Amino acid sequence: MFCPECGNHIKDQNIHFCPECGTKIEQGSHTGKNTPTPQSEGTGTHGLIFTNVGLLAEKMEIDEQDLMSVFDEFIKQKRKYDISYKLVDAGNYSYQKSGFWGNNKTVCLTPDSPLWDYMDILMDVHNGEKKAGSEISQYLFIIGGNDTIPMPCTRHYIPDDGNDDSIDTDILYAYPYGKEMLTLLENQEVFKYDQLFFVGRLPFGTDASLEDLCGYLERDINYSNGIPMSEAYGQCDPHWKKVSSRVTNDLLKGNYLRNLDRYLSADHYYNRLILSPMVVEENVSQVFHTNASLYYFNLHGGEGREARGYFGVMLHQEEDGCWPVIEPEHMTTCETPNITISEACYGGRFIGLDKHHSMMLASLFTNTLAFVGSSRVAWGAVDSSSSSASDCPVSYADIIANYFISAILQGYSAAEALFIARRALLQGTTPGDPHAALTVVEFNLFGDPTTTMDSRSELKSGRKPTGKNALATQDAKIGCSIEKIETTNRGNSILEQVRGAVNANIQLIHVIIGQFLYANYGIKPRPVDEIFKIKYNNGQEELKFNYDLTSERKIPTRFVVTTSTDGKIKSVYTTR
């Protein structure tokens, strides 16, 4: 049972007073050991720890009661910093609402249980808080990997995507209103709903240990008032150095990035960002900042188990293409608590991996307290020769990283910062843009969602809450239909002749794109792989031309050029 005042876990069922705060315990009103702790009054931060104690204890090879003691101590220590967490155990949960016979329903969920059962528990907790008139929990801290609390897997927003057909995401837990939320997420209508929680997850790899859990929780407690922001480290592919410089502009203006002008030449270093593969894994340790408070990576990532770290691609096509430039082992050398944001494809992957094969896991269980990364192929802008760093276009993952860094420096929590970044992306793109929706959903937060940065920024917000209002505007006509366009005329019927005339126009646009890509990006003209016509629900239409550069870059690389239906080029972006 738990003390109704301070939330202390009380093992002695016959005790009459809480040994922690002295509150009288009414006999017969004891809650089950894993029933959410009644929230104490106050204006601080309130959240839920959501886990499965039995499954996690088995994974950590520890007795359930001992694991409960670990969580009890964590909750107790966080409360000293005005952060009130209470534990919700999906493996032994008693509903607050009574059943037909007046008995409380008790459930014991497993990884095979329907996702809706997990969401139903969260709604029961939320409704119980409202009914009791207590503080409403805004944060949801999931502790455990996919084998403890399942990570929802949703349908991909881009049909027949060359790499992915699904998305691993925790954003669905922000909307635990019912089964219909999955459909609403897949058609983007969920973005019009208010979030119930700011979500973060502490996952574990296949090599997880109790030391991983306890070590993270101890660091989390120690930096409950914020991670001191001293210096930052940024590393990017040279094709995106202008884009990356714009993304990290706040770090540059705040003088957080180290000045290495005396040590590195211009081809290795741009606006204080390390360029790779000019710097590779064999020598990156010479410049890698092990005492940084914030890490930013805009590099390539891979899906396979052996694609452990991040990669860079040579600027000149005649040189060997793809090089490993930083590995999980480098993150294990970090000496101070930090926050990490990665734009890399699969940069936040962890399911089925260990710390040796996941940049995110290696980071979290060394000194990273919050890590934002993608579970799937990520998309972002590429440098154009015609623009400077200050006015270089950014897109998708770049926008997420830019707004996340800015919000973190202003004192927002990591989960609030990701919320702000997601909202900025959706409200800055055409409602229904499939790549925007993909980016919002695939980028997840790993670590305690209440984590903050204690920076010296003049724009610091004082950690004012953002409110969990809708990511998209309520009156936006969200959604789109995607039609694949054929590029050859295969017959002589009137219908096919009309189609041929349309395709003739598309072929002309393709020629214009080829000239544009060569003039601005140095990409030689090539056949188009796929053309899609996007019809948005608000009436807008556009074309997306996909080009494959994999054979030249020696790493899966695709460019997308978006145009209006009359051929005006709107944007160029590429896989990360």
Q: Please tell me the least confidently modeled range out of 318-327, 425-434, 487-496.
A: 487-496
In a domain, 427, yes or no: no
Amino acid at 356: H
What is the average pLDDT across 207-218?
97
How much is the mean pLDDT over the chain?
Answer: 88
What is the average pLDDT across 164-176?
95
For residues 103 and 138, the model is more confident at 138
Asked if 97 and 132 sit in the same domain, the reply is yes
3-state SS, residue 378: coil
End-of-domain residue from the set 371, 393, 415: 393
Q: What percent of the chain has pLDDT over 90?
A: 70
Asked if 218 and 355 sit in the same domain, the reply is yes
Asked if 252 and 329 sit in the same domain, the reply is yes
pLDDT at position 29 is 36
pLDDT for residue 458 is more than 90? no
Domain extent for 219: 208-393
End-of-domain residue from the set 192, 225, 249: 192
Q: Please tell me the least confidently modeled range out of 237-241, 312-316, 538-542.
A: 312-316
Q: What's the total number of domains in the chain?
A: 3
What CA–CA distance (Å, rounded) separates 33 from 88? 10
Asked if 490 and 554 sit in the same domain, the reply is yes
- pLDDT tens for 47-60 read 999 999 999 999 99
- Which CATH number do you get for residue 226? 3.40.50
pLDDT for residue 38 is more than 50? no
Asked if 109 and 258 sit in the same domain, the reply is no
**Terminus-to-terminus CA distance in the chain, angstroms?**
49
Tell me the whole-structure pTM to 2 decimals. 0.88
In a domain, 275, yes or no: yes
End-of-domain residue from the set 377, 393, 409: 393
pLDDT at position 34 is 31
Asked if 550 and 502 sit in the same domain, the reply is yes
Task: Judge contact between 292 and 336, C-beta under 8 A.
Answer: yes
Asked if 148 and 246 sit in the same domain, the reply is no
* Strands 294-298 vs 232-236: parallel, antiparallel or unpaired: parallel
pLDDT at position 41 is 38
Asked if 495 and 381 sit in the same domain, the reply is no
Asked if 135 and 104 sit in the same domain, the reply is yes
Of residues 101, 134, 129, 168, the one with CA closest to residue 348: 168
Asked if 152 and 182 sit in the same domain, the reply is yes
pLDDT at position 475 is 81
In a domain, 155, yes or no: yes
In a domain, 558, yes or no: yes
Task: Judge contact between 549 and 558, C-beta under 8 A.
Answer: yes
pLDDT at position 40 is 35
Asked if 179 and 216 sit in the same domain, the reply is no
What CA–CA distance (Å, rounded) separates 388 from 26? 69
What CA–CA distance (Å, rounded) separates 574 from 523? 13
3-state SS, residue 201: strand
pLDDT for residue 432 is more than 90? yes
What is the average pLDDT across 375-390?
88
The H or E element spanning position 130 is helix 115-132
**DSSP-assigned letter for residue 390:** T
In a domain, 197, yes or no: no
Asked if 519 and 491 sit in the same domain, the reply is yes
Q: How confident is the model at residue 320 (pLDDT cuts 50, 70, 90)?
A: low
- pLDDT tens for 483-511 read 988 765 445 566 666 556 667 788 899 99
